[in-house]
């Protein structure tokens, strides 16, 4: 079993829909990261959080430390949101900050 | 552009050849990470530098792989005697350490896509 699991693996939505991507992890963490990867490979960090909730524009990330679960929400989705969204964690007490990644959720938003 | 840069962006090589990739981190970042990503998978940690010191290497990093960061700035990742299984995207990331804690946001480069024929 992977230390970081994401669901769903693939997600297709219509423009304007509210989207939720889930992430569960099995290790103690210092921080959880949500990353966005576009075709061609470049990765952009969206959020780094260790508790509660963060919001940036139409993106919202939440984390429940007790349940070892995080969600990424996209409100009013748009075709430009189409990308792979990756959840990653920094293992508490482990290496100095290297990330453990989920396999990613491929999101496709149709116009 | 003051982000993380990687060179080359694409590399096609024949099995058995040696290849070297370069990563230039954000200038004030003292931490530099190498990751590998195969198709359909999330990235996997390879190795990590703090300044010029290589502090950790993953078991994924076989003896054919070597990484350096000689002056604590740019880093190189060399793969000797490449194999078809080495075909992947090689990602570099950098971060700055904060006093009292190492866990900071990582900024990623565009990656180097390696194809071994």
Q: Render each residue's pLDDT in chain A as its tens digit; 111 residues.
A: 689 999 999 999 999 999 999 999 998 888 899 999 988 778 999 999 989 999 999 999 999 999 999 999 999 999 999 999 999 998 766 555 678 999 999 999 999
Has residue B99 got a pLDDT over 80? no
> What's the confidence (pLDDT) of residue A91?
77
Q: A98 and B48 in contact by Cβ < 8 A?
A: yes
Contact assessment for residue B111 and residue A39, using Cβ atoms and an 8 Å cutoff: no
Q: Which residue of chain B comes nearest to A95, CA vs CA?
A: B56
For every residue of A8-36, DSSP letters joined together read -SEEEEETT--EEEEEEE-S-EEEEEEEE
The Cα-based distances of B23 to A23, B1, B49 in angstroms read: 30, 14, 12
The Cα-based distances of A96 to A12, A18, A99, B39, B95 in angstroms read: 36, 36, 9, 26, 11
Has residue B100 got a pLDDT over 50? no
Among A86, A87, A74, A94, which residue's Cα sits nearest to residue A29? A94
Q: A95 and B103 in contact by Cβ < 8 A?
A: no
Question: Taking CB atoms and an 8 Å cutoff, what residues of chain A touch B44?
Answer: 101
pLDDT digits 0-9 by tens, B24-71: 999 989 999 999 999 888 999 999 998 999 988 888 888 999 999 998
Tokens for A108, please give them: 């496709």
Has residue B96 got a pLDDT over 90? no
Kindly state the percentage of chain B with pLDDT values over 70. 92
Alpha-carbon span B54 to B45, nearest angstrom: 13
With tokens 């990653």, the residue in question is: A88
């Amino acid at each position: 079993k992977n230390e970081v699991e994401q669901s769903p693996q693939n997600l297709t939505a219509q423009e304007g829909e509210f989207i939720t991507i889930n992430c569960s992890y099995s290790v103690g963490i210092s921080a959880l990261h949500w990353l966005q990867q576009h075709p061609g490979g470049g990765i952009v960090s969206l959020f780094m959080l260790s508790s509660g909730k963060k919001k940036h524009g139409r993106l919202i990330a939440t984390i429940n430390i007790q349940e070892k679960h995080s969600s990424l929400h996209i409100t009013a989705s748009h075709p430009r949101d189409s990308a792979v969204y990756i959840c990653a964690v920094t293992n508490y007490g482990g290496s100095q900050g290297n990330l453990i990644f989920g396999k990613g959720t491929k999101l496709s938003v149709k116009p | 552009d003051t982000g993380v840069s990687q060179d080359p962006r694409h590399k096609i090589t024949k099995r058995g050849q040696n290849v070297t990739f370069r990563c230039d981190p954000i200038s004030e970042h003292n931490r530099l990470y190498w990751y590998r990503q195969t198709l359909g998978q999330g990235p996997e940690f390879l190795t990590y530098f703090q300044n010029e010191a290589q502090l950790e290497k993953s078991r994924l990093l076989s003896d054919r792989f070597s990484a350096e960061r000689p002056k604590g700035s740019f880093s190189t990742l060399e793969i000797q005697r490449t194999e078809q299984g080495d075909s992947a995207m090689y990602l570099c990331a950098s971060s700055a350490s904060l006093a009292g804690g190492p866990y900071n946001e990582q900024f990623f480069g565009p990656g180097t896509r390696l194809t071994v024929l």
